[in-house]
Amino acid sequence: MAGKNVFPQKKKSELREEIEQMLEERGISLERRITVMNLDTKEASYFDDYPKALAFLKGKRGRWYLATPGIRRKG
């Protein structure tokens, strides 16, 4: 594992777990990925980090929107 940092998983607080459970019950989920969407074609791609999202966008034409992680209503 040379050159890679391995961090332990962060433990969620009780409050955060409670909030996530309430959101889940109401049909809302947390989106941890970065969303890149084409505003003309409605195409959407998802990435785990900004460098991957930006590499995907390099050379693309059209109107693209980069959305930060957040919440989304389940479909």
Report whether 17 contacts 8 (CB < 8 A). no
Average pLDDT across the chain, whole number: 80
Lowest mean pLDDT among 6-10, 38-42, 59-63, 66-70: 6-10
Residue 57: the pLDDT is 95
Q: Where are the domains of the chain?
A: 31-75
Residue 31: the pLDDT is 73
- The two structure tokens encoding residue 43: 């195409």
For 29, what's the count of Cα atoms within 13 Å in the CB-facing half-sphere?
A: 5
51-72 pLDDT, tens digit per residue, is 999 999 999 999 999 887 776 6
Residue 2: the pLDDT is 52
% the chain with pLDDT above 70: 79
